[in-house]
Amino acid sequence: MGVVMRILAVGCHPDDLEIGCGGTIAKYAKLGHTVIMCHVANGNMGHVEILPDDLRIIRTKEAEEAGKVLGAEEVINIDVGDLYVTSFNEETALKIAEVIRYAKPDAIITHDEADYMRDHVETGKAVFNASFSTSINHYATKSPAFPGNSCPIYYMDTLAGVNFLPTEYVDITDTIEIKLEALSCHVSQIKWMLEHDKIDFIDFVRTCSKYRGLQCGVPYAEAFKSCMTWPRVPTKRFLP
């Protein structure tokens, strides 16, 4: 298998990682790498009928079940309320920095700046900022300083791939069903989107994965962009 890596995937809401990089997470896990999943927002506003306090609990459990399906070692909830994620909130920044120091990742996956809503965009910015802060010895978190400022960051696809030009692809043909099984754990989202919006989101995500697969010559794929800032540009491939 080669060198065992530690991968940190930081999404905004409890189902965002399953949508954007679930197949890649499952592939890392199948190859024997360690994956830690983290969601910054708790998803408490993601339903038209279930009240936020109840939904927060439901979605946390759904995320934990999905993480087990994907083979993640751990699922961490930073527990910020929906619509309140901002990269300028110092409490959130400290919590993300602590997750990075705790995880000690060889590579990080998070949201792209072109994604479709503020919480997603701000999560990506917060991860970039926090990964630099982790290298500062006197930036106080529970875990000791970690040189996260040199850790490669990969931005996962935007929803439906809109305004996203990939620089990397991962063949998830062998993990597409695991990805969709994990996504299916998020019953509170899948069910209400089908009933209220008439959107079959499982089919939606499968279609997006097939579209990315067509671009790189495989049945199913996930798309990424490398963070091209010094000193994060690696000379080797970290994606599986």
Q: Alpha carbon 131 to chain centroid distance?
A: 15
How many Å apart are CA 59 and CA 118, to the nearest integer?
20
The amino acid at 5: M
In this model, does residue 133 exceed pLDDT 60?
Answer: yes
pTM of the model: 0.96
Residue at 239 is within a domain: no
Facing residues of 67 across strands?
Answer: none
Residue at 187 is within a domain: yes
Per the rule left: phi > 0, alpha: psi between -120 and 50, beta: everything else, 43 is left
| Phi, psi (deg, nearest 5) at residue 83 | 75, 5
Residue at 65 is within a domain: yes
Q: How confident is the model at residue 53 (pLDDT cuts 50, 70, 90)?
A: very high
When pLDDT is averaged across residues 36-51 and rounded to a whole number, the result is 94
The residue segments making up the domain with residue 77 are: 6-226
When pLDDT is averaged across residues 2-11 and rounded to a whole number, the result is 93
Residue at 95 is within a domain: yes
Question: The domain that contains 74 carries what CATH number?
Answer: 3.40.50.10320
Q: Report the pLDDT value the prediction gives residue 141, as an integer from 0 to 100.
A: 87
Q: Report the pLDDT value the prediction gives residue 197, as an integer from 0 to 100.
A: 85
Q: What is the dihedral of CA 10, 15, 17, 23, to 10 degrees?
A: 160
Q: How confident is the model at residue 136 (pLDDT cuts 50, 70, 90)?
A: very high
Residue at 19 is within a domain: yes
Residue at 1 is within a domain: no
Structure token digits, residue 190: 């899948």
Q: To the nearest whole percent, how much of the chain has pLDDT over 90?
A: 90
When pLDDT is averaged across residues 8-26 and rounded to a whole number, the result is 98
Residue at 235 is within a domain: no
In this model, does residue 151 exceed pLDDT 60?
Answer: yes
In this model, does residue 2 exceed pLDDT 80?
Answer: no
Residue at 231 is within a domain: no
**Any idea which of 11-15, 108-112, 169-173, 230-234 has the lowest mean pLDDT?**
230-234
In the chain, how many domains are there?
A: 1
Which position has the token pair 């996930």?
222
> Rounded to whole angstroms, what are the CA distances from 63 to 19, 100, 120, 139?
12, 19, 17, 30
- What's the start-to-end Cα distance of the chain, in Å? 11
How many Å apart are CA 45 and CA 35, to the nearest integer?
27
The amino acid at 174: D
Give residue-wise pLDDT tens across range 76-129.
Answer: 999 999 999 999 999 999 999 999 999 999 999 999 999 999 999 999 999 999
Q: Report the pLDDT value the prediction gives residue 220, as an integer from 0 to 100.
A: 98
In this model, does residue 1 exceed pLDDT 60?
Answer: no
**Strand extents, DSSP E, the chain:** 6-11, 34-41, 74-80, 107-111, 153-156, 168-171, 221-226
